[in-house]
Amino acid sequence: MIDIHCHILPGIDDGAQVEQDAIEMAQQAVNSGINTVIATPHHKNRTYDNEKPFIQKDVKRLNQLFEASNVPLNVQAGQEVRIFGELVDDFKKGNIQTLNDSKYLLLEFPSNEVPQYTEQLIFDIQRAGMTPVIAHPERNRNLYTNPNRLYELVSQGALAQVTSGSLTGAFGKEIKQVSHQMIQANLIHFVASDAHNIDTRTFKTLKEAYDIIKQEYGAIVQYSLEENAQYLIHNENINQNEPQLVPKKKKFFGLF
Protein backbone atom coordinates (compact mmCIF):
# COMPACT_ATOMS: atom_id res chain seq x y z
CA MET A 1 0.00 0.00 0.00
CA ILE A 2 0.92 3.63 -0.50
CA ASP A 3 0.07 6.25 2.11
CA ILE A 4 -0.04 9.78 0.68
CA HIS A 5 -0.38 11.71 3.96
CA CYS A 6 1.62 11.24 7.17
CA HIS A 7 3.84 13.09 9.61
CA ILE A 8 6.88 10.85 9.89
CA LEU A 9 9.70 13.38 9.46
CA PRO A 10 11.12 13.80 12.98
CA GLY A 11 11.27 17.06 14.86
CA ILE A 12 9.60 19.42 12.40
CA ASP A 13 5.90 19.35 13.32
CA ASP A 14 3.46 17.55 15.63
CA GLY A 15 4.30 14.10 14.25
CA ALA A 16 7.44 12.10 15.02
CA GLN A 17 9.62 14.06 17.44
CA VAL A 18 12.91 12.14 17.28
CA GLU A 19 14.46 9.60 14.92
CA GLN A 20 13.43 6.67 17.09
CA ASP A 21 9.81 7.78 16.80
CA ALA A 22 10.16 7.77 13.01
CA ILE A 23 11.72 4.30 13.03
CA GLU A 24 8.90 2.92 15.19
CA MET A 25 6.30 4.54 12.93
CA ALA A 26 8.02 3.08 9.87
CA GLN A 27 8.08 -0.39 11.38
CA GLN A 28 4.38 -0.13 12.13
CA ALA A 29 3.70 1.02 8.56
CA VAL A 30 5.58 -1.95 7.09
CA ASN A 31 3.81 -4.35 9.44
CA SER A 32 0.51 -2.89 8.23
CA GLY A 33 1.33 -3.61 4.59
CA ILE A 34 2.55 -0.14 3.60
CA ASN A 35 5.68 0.04 1.47
CA THR A 36 5.73 3.72 0.47
CA VAL A 37 4.67 6.87 2.29
CA ILE A 38 4.66 10.52 1.35
CA ALA A 39 5.89 12.63 4.25
CA THR A 40 3.60 15.66 4.49
CA PRO A 41 4.74 17.99 7.27
CA HIS A 42 2.56 20.96 8.10
CA HIS A 43 3.32 24.22 6.33
CA LYS A 44 1.93 27.71 6.92
CA ASN A 45 -0.51 26.59 9.63
CA ARG A 46 0.55 29.39 12.03
CA THR A 47 2.63 26.92 14.04
CA TYR A 48 4.91 25.20 11.54
CA ASP A 49 6.67 26.36 8.39
CA ASN A 50 8.41 23.65 6.39
CA GLU A 51 9.56 24.75 2.96
CA LYS A 52 10.36 22.46 0.05
CA PRO A 53 14.20 22.50 0.15
CA PHE A 54 14.28 21.54 3.83
CA ILE A 55 11.66 18.81 3.39
CA GLN A 56 13.65 17.21 0.59
CA LYS A 57 16.82 17.18 2.73
CA ASP A 58 14.94 15.64 5.65
CA VAL A 59 13.36 12.97 3.41
CA LYS A 60 16.76 12.00 2.03
CA ARG A 61 18.17 11.75 5.55
CA LEU A 62 15.21 9.67 6.75
CA ASN A 63 15.51 7.20 3.88
CA GLN A 64 19.18 6.77 4.75
CA LEU A 65 18.23 6.16 8.38
CA PHE A 66 15.66 3.53 7.42
CA GLU A 67 18.12 1.78 5.14
CA ALA A 68 20.71 1.67 7.92
CA SER A 69 18.03 0.37 10.31
CA ASN A 70 16.83 -2.31 7.84
CA VAL A 71 13.33 -0.88 7.70
CA PRO A 72 11.96 -1.42 4.15
CA LEU A 73 9.88 1.74 3.89
CA ASN A 74 10.31 4.20 1.06
CA VAL A 75 9.64 7.85 1.93
CA GLN A 76 8.79 10.50 -0.66
CA ALA A 77 8.55 14.25 -0.18
CA GLY A 78 5.28 16.08 0.28
CA GLN A 79 3.72 18.87 2.28
CA GLU A 80 0.39 19.59 3.95
CA VAL A 81 -0.11 23.22 3.03
CA ARG A 82 -2.56 25.33 5.01
CA ILE A 83 -4.46 27.44 2.54
CA PHE A 84 -3.11 31.00 2.20
CA GLY A 85 -3.52 33.70 -0.39
CA GLU A 86 0.10 33.78 -1.63
CA LEU A 87 0.32 30.01 -2.16
CA VAL A 88 0.82 30.16 -5.92
CA ASP A 89 3.49 32.85 -5.56
CA ASP A 90 5.34 30.66 -3.05
CA PHE A 91 5.05 27.72 -5.43
CA LYS A 92 6.73 29.76 -8.14
CA LYS A 93 9.48 30.68 -5.65
CA GLY A 94 10.15 26.98 -5.00
CA ASN A 95 8.84 26.82 -1.44
CA ILE A 96 5.82 24.56 -2.06
CA GLN A 97 6.36 20.80 -2.20
CA THR A 98 3.75 18.88 -4.17
CA LEU A 99 3.19 15.20 -3.42
CA ASN A 100 6.26 13.36 -4.71
CA ASP A 101 6.89 16.32 -7.07
CA SER A 102 3.68 15.45 -8.91
CA LYS A 103 0.95 17.86 -9.98
CA TYR A 104 -0.99 16.96 -6.83
CA LEU A 105 -0.90 19.39 -3.88
CA LEU A 106 -2.18 18.45 -0.42
CA LEU A 107 -4.23 21.43 0.75
CA GLU A 108 -5.51 21.87 4.30
CA PHE A 109 -8.29 24.20 5.45
CA PRO A 110 -8.59 25.69 8.94
CA SER A 111 -10.52 23.39 11.25
CA ASN A 112 -13.68 25.47 11.39
CA GLU A 113 -14.00 27.19 8.02
CA VAL A 114 -13.46 27.27 4.30
CA PRO A 115 -12.00 30.70 3.50
CA GLN A 116 -14.01 32.92 1.18
CA TYR A 117 -11.20 33.06 -1.36
CA THR A 118 -11.01 29.26 -1.70
CA GLU A 119 -12.70 28.98 -5.10
CA GLN A 120 -10.43 31.62 -6.61
CA LEU A 121 -7.34 29.97 -5.13
CA ILE A 122 -8.36 26.54 -6.41
CA PHE A 123 -8.70 28.10 -9.86
CA ASP A 124 -5.28 29.75 -9.54
CA ILE A 125 -3.68 26.51 -8.29
CA GLN A 126 -4.97 24.64 -11.32
CA ARG A 127 -3.88 27.42 -13.65
CA ALA A 128 -0.37 27.05 -12.18
CA GLY A 129 -0.40 23.36 -13.19
CA MET A 130 -1.31 21.77 -9.89
CA THR A 131 -4.35 19.80 -8.72
CA PRO A 132 -5.44 20.50 -5.14
CA VAL A 133 -6.17 17.52 -2.90
CA ILE A 134 -8.24 18.66 0.08
CA ALA A 135 -6.99 16.97 3.24
CA HIS A 136 -9.54 15.40 5.60
CA PRO A 137 -12.63 17.41 4.59
CA GLU A 138 -14.74 15.31 6.94
CA ARG A 139 -12.91 16.94 9.87
CA ASN A 140 -13.55 20.51 8.77
CA ARG A 141 -16.53 22.02 10.58
CA ASN A 142 -17.86 23.85 7.53
CA LEU A 143 -17.61 20.81 5.26
CA TYR A 144 -18.76 18.45 7.98
CA THR A 145 -21.97 20.33 8.58
CA ASN A 146 -22.49 21.07 4.88
CA PRO A 147 -20.85 18.32 2.79
CA ASN A 148 -22.33 19.80 -0.37
CA ARG A 149 -19.80 22.60 0.02
CA LEU A 150 -17.27 19.89 -0.78
CA TYR A 151 -19.37 18.95 -3.82
CA GLU A 152 -18.93 22.51 -5.09
CA LEU A 153 -15.15 22.36 -4.69
CA VAL A 154 -14.84 18.92 -6.30
CA SER A 155 -17.03 20.07 -9.18
CA GLN A 156 -14.55 22.91 -9.64
CA GLY A 157 -11.68 20.44 -10.05
CA ALA A 158 -10.43 19.79 -6.53
CA LEU A 159 -9.91 16.26 -5.19
CA ALA A 160 -10.35 15.09 -1.61
CA GLN A 161 -8.64 12.71 0.83
CA VAL A 162 -10.43 11.14 3.77
CA THR A 163 -8.54 10.10 6.89
CA SER A 164 -8.60 6.35 7.46
CA GLY A 165 -9.28 6.85 11.17
CA SER A 166 -12.42 8.77 10.29
CA LEU A 167 -13.77 5.69 8.52
CA THR A 168 -12.89 3.39 11.41
CA GLY A 169 -14.60 5.61 13.97
CA ALA A 170 -11.48 6.99 15.65
CA PHE A 171 -12.89 10.54 15.49
CA GLY A 172 -16.40 9.60 16.55
CA LYS A 173 -19.51 8.14 14.97
CA GLU A 174 -20.69 11.43 13.44
CA ILE A 175 -17.46 12.00 11.50
CA LYS A 176 -17.52 8.35 10.51
CA GLN A 177 -21.01 8.79 9.12
CA VAL A 178 -20.22 11.90 7.09
CA SER A 179 -17.06 10.22 5.77
CA HIS A 180 -19.18 7.42 4.36
CA GLN A 181 -21.64 9.94 2.92
CA MET A 182 -18.78 11.62 1.09
CA ILE A 183 -17.58 8.31 -0.35
CA GLN A 184 -21.09 7.40 -1.47
CA ALA A 185 -21.36 10.76 -3.26
CA ASN A 186 -18.05 10.23 -5.14
CA LEU A 187 -16.46 13.13 -3.28
CA ILE A 188 -13.49 11.15 -1.94
CA HIS A 189 -10.57 10.18 -4.16
CA PHE A 190 -7.92 9.06 -1.67
CA VAL A 191 -7.68 7.37 1.71
CA ALA A 192 -4.65 8.15 3.87
CA SER A 193 -3.63 7.59 7.47
CA ASP A 194 -2.49 11.10 8.46
CA ALA A 195 -0.34 9.14 10.93
CA HIS A 196 1.40 11.13 13.66
CA ASN A 197 2.56 8.40 16.05
CA ILE A 198 2.19 4.71 16.88
CA ASP A 199 -0.47 5.06 19.58
CA THR A 200 -3.38 7.36 18.75
CA ARG A 201 -3.04 8.40 15.09
CA THR A 202 -1.40 5.46 13.41
CA PHE A 203 -0.63 3.77 10.12
CA LYS A 204 -2.62 0.71 11.20
CA THR A 205 -5.94 2.35 10.36
CA LEU A 206 -5.18 2.47 6.62
CA LYS A 207 -5.69 -1.25 6.02
CA GLU A 208 -8.65 -1.25 8.40
CA ALA A 209 -10.28 1.54 6.39
CA TYR A 210 -9.73 -0.23 3.07
CA ASP A 211 -11.26 -3.39 4.55
CA ILE A 212 -14.31 -1.38 5.66
CA ILE A 213 -14.66 0.16 2.19
CA LYS A 214 -14.42 -3.27 0.57
CA GLN A 215 -17.07 -4.65 2.90
CA GLU A 216 -19.42 -1.67 2.52
CA TYR A 217 -18.99 -0.78 -1.16
CA GLY A 218 -17.26 -3.71 -2.81
CA ALA A 219 -13.80 -4.58 -4.05
CA ILE A 220 -14.03 -2.32 -7.11
CA VAL A 221 -14.42 0.84 -5.01
CA GLN A 222 -11.73 -0.27 -2.58
CA TYR A 223 -9.29 -1.08 -5.36
CA SER A 224 -10.04 2.14 -7.21
CA LEU A 225 -9.21 4.25 -4.17
CA GLU A 226 -6.09 2.24 -3.42
CA GLU A 227 -5.04 2.47 -7.06
CA ASN A 228 -5.40 6.26 -6.97
CA ALA A 229 -2.49 6.49 -4.53
CA GLN A 230 -0.35 4.66 -7.08
CA TYR A 231 -1.50 6.94 -9.88
CA LEU A 232 -0.76 9.99 -7.76
CA ILE A 233 2.75 8.94 -6.87
CA HIS A 234 3.47 8.40 -10.58
CA ASN A 235 1.86 11.73 -11.50
CA GLU A 236 -0.87 10.08 -13.54
CA ASN A 237 -4.56 10.87 -13.81
CA ILE A 238 -6.67 9.19 -11.16
CA ASN A 239 -9.92 7.26 -11.10
CA GLN A 240 -12.91 9.48 -10.37
CA ASN A 241 -16.64 9.31 -10.83
CA GLU A 242 -19.13 12.12 -11.30
CA PRO A 243 -19.57 13.92 -7.96
CA GLN A 244 -23.04 13.89 -6.48
CA LEU A 245 -24.89 15.97 -3.94
CA VAL A 246 -25.09 14.49 -0.46
CA PRO A 247 -28.69 13.94 0.67
CA LYS A 248 -29.56 16.14 3.61
CA LYS A 249 -29.44 14.34 6.93
CA LYS A 250 -30.54 15.29 10.40
CA LYS A 251 -28.14 17.71 12.03
CA PHE A 252 -25.68 16.31 14.53
CA PHE A 253 -25.38 17.97 17.91
CA GLY A 254 -22.72 17.91 20.58
CA LEU A 255 -19.62 17.18 18.47
CA PHE A 256 -18.14 20.64 18.54
Mean pLDDT of 10-16: 98
- Exposed e or buried b per residue across 173-195, where buried means at least 16 C-beta atoms within 10 angstroms of its C-beta: ebbbebbbbbbebebbbbbbbbb
CB atoms within 10 A of CB 53: 11
Per-residue pLDDT, 248: 75
256 pLDDT above the threshold of 70: no
Q: What residues have CB less than 8 Å from 72, skipping those under 6 apart?
A: 30, 35, 66
Quote the percentage of the chain above a pLDDT of 90. Answer: 96
Quote the percentage of the chain above a pLDDT of 70. Answer: 97
253 pLDDT above the threshold of 50: no
Cα 202–Cα 208–Cα 210 angle in degrees, nearest 5: 115
The enclosing domain of 163 has a CATH number of 3.20.20.140
Domain assignment present for residue 164? The answer is yes
Q: What residues have CB less than 8 Å from 237, skipping those under 6 apart?
A: 231
Domain assignment present for residue 240? The answer is no
Domain assignment present for residue 242? The answer is no
User: What's the structural domain count of the chain?
Assistant: 1
Domain assignment present for residue 243? The answer is no
Domain assignment present for residue 187? The answer is yes
Q: pLDDT digit string (tens) for 177-206?
A: 999 999 999 999 999 999 999 999 999 999
Q: pLDDT digit string (tens) for 25-84?
A: 999 999 999 999 999 999 999 999 999 999 999 999 999 999 999 999 999 999 999 999
CB atoms within 10 A of CB 86: 11
Name the residue range of residue 182's domain: 2-233
Q: pLDDT digit string (tens) for 127-142?
A: 999 999 999 999 999 9
Domain assignment present for residue 247? The answer is no
Mean confidence (pLDDT) of the chain: 96
Q: Considering only CA atoms, which of 84, 93, 108 is closest in space to residue 52?
A: 93
> Residue 249: pLDDT band by 50, 70, 90 thresholds?
low
Lowest mean pLDDT among 54-63, 92-101, 240-249: 240-249
Model's pTM, two decimal places? 0.95
Q: What does R_g of the chain's alpha carbons equal in angstroms?
A: 17
174 pLDDT above the threshold of 50: yes
Domain assignment present for residue 217? The answer is yes
Per-residue pLDDT, 254: 38
252 pLDDT above the threshold of 50: no
